[in-house]
Amino acid sequence: MNVLIISAHPEPRSFNGALVDITVSRLKAIGHQVEVGDLYQERFDPVERAEHYASRGSGEPFAPLDEQRAHHDRQALPKEITRELARLEWAELVVFHFPLWWHAQPAILKGWFDRVMVYGGRYTSRMRYDQGYFQGKRALLCVTAGSPEPAFQPFGRAGDMAAWLWPMHASLYYVGFDVLAPQVSYGVQGGGIEYQGKAALREHLEGCKRRWAERLPGLSNEATIPFAGWGDWNEQGVLKETSPLRWRLG
């Protein structure tokens, strides 16, 4: 299996970086092909702007979606976007490694979605959801978070982790990916905030590494998160009364 890792942490020696290393070594050891896209090390520009599009008409207001589509059709997208799209074409599984910052992914990763998932090329009005471009490919979020796991429950002080990760899960499904359940390592302390002593923390982090390493070999056989598709919605985009998902989610 071809596995693409998208890493979004500024420090390779961080715990997040250690998890990336485990992903690479463990998957290679069992015969998978692995490529790493380190957004910080590659200095990926996450800000969509007019200057990225050399062929756009001068004097016209900048319309990002129009420029994405036009440049995709002319095969004139920026070099770094062409590189990222080629990586995604190659990959059968994409693993996103990142820390949870301010209840979301780091800005560099959000900008990666803004720029790489080009309109007209990777989604259109109809080429979305279960008709998305990346049908048949899998994606997984491997996330680190500072607070302990109980704090991220629905009534916990840090909020429901499922809600914080929903935008990324929804975006991946929007362009057709089958989305696996996330791997979240809680209690990764930093910035002077401590929930346990140093010895206990080391043991905890080693446990997080071990659980991730143990999960990796079985990823290709895991069930994916269920999402609604075009056949589940009525003309207003609301789940039909007959959709099983309506009752599962209700």
pLDDT at 226 over 60: yes
What pLDDT, on the 0 to 100 scale, is given for residue 101?
95
pLDDT band at 125 (very low <50, low <70, confident <90, very high): very high
pLDDT band at 242 (very low <50, low <70, confident <90, very high): confident
**Sequence-distant (≥ 6) Cβ neighbours of residue 157 within 8 angstroms:** 147, 151
What pLDDT, on the 0 to 100 scale, is given for residue 128?
97
pLDDT at 63 over 90: yes
Q: What mean pLDDT do residues 74-81 have?
A: 96
For residue 78, the 8-state DSSP code is -
What pLDDT, on the 0 to 100 scale, is given for residue 55?
82
Q: How far is CA 18 from CA 23, 80, 188, 190, in A?
A: 9, 26, 12, 15
Question: What's the mean pLDDT when you consider all of the chain?
Answer: 92
- Distance, in Å, from the CA atom of 167 to the CA atom of 66, rounded to the nearest integer, reads 23
Q: How many CB atoms lie within 10 A of CB 76?
A: 14
Q: What mean pLDDT do residues 5-14 have?
A: 96
What pLDDT, on the 0 to 100 scale, is given for residue 194?
63
pLDDT band at 58 (very low <50, low <70, confident <90, very high): low
Percentage of residues in the chain having pLDDT higher than 70: 94
Q: Where are the alpha helices (DSSP H) in the chain?
A: 15-29, 64-73, 79-90, 107-116, 161-174, 198-215, 244-249
Write down the CATH superfamily of domain 2-225. Flavodoxin domain (3.40.50.360)
Q: What mean pLDDT do residues 38-53 have?
A: 96
pLDDT at 187 over 70: yes
pTM for the full predicted model: 0.93
Q: What mean pLDDT do residues 143-151 have?
A: 91
pLDDT at 225 over 80: yes
What pLDDT, on the 0 to 100 scale, is given for residue 169?
97
Going from N- to C-terminal start, the domains of the chain cover 2-225
